[in-house]
């Protein structure tokens, strides 16, 4: 798990919603909000995603990129994006490697 002032795990690659490889190297030099969530199209996760969607114009003005990360498959992410008009990337982390590196995966 990351500790204060430790570097982000740049070399952990996952898939984006289109099945392309994605990692944090692409975000170097950019302000980025990563949010981790357990499952597409569930009540709490949908509310969270739609909150980021609704704040997108403000985030863009600030130069901030939002990326949602869950264990769901890219196909599920595509459906979720389409259903709720989500234009920001959703990354698929089925083995929880990225989530665990950030301390964002584990028991309740």
Instruction: Indicate which residues carry an active-site annotation.
Output: 45
By three-state DSSP, how is residue 54 classified?
helix
* Token duo for residue 27: 């975000």
14 - beta bridge partners? 22
Sign of CA dihedral 64, 95, 98, 14: negative
Residues in the chain: 108
Q: In this structure, are strands 31-36 and 21-22 parallel, antiparallel, or unpaired?
A: unpaired
């Amino acid at each position: 798990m990351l500790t204060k002032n430790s570097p982000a795990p740049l070399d952990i690659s996952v898939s984006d919603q289109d099945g392309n490889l994605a990692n944090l190297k692409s975000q170097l030099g950019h302000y980025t909000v990563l949010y981790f969530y357990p499952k597409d199209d569930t009540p709490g996760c949908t509310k969270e995603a739609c909150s980021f969607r609704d704040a997108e114009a403000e985030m863009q003005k600030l130069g901030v990129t939002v990326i949602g990360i869950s264990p769901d498959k890219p196909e599920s992410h595509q459906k979720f994006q389409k259903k709720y008009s989500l234009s920001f990337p959703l990354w698929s982390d089925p083995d929880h490697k990225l989530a665990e590196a950030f301390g964002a995966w584990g028991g309740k």
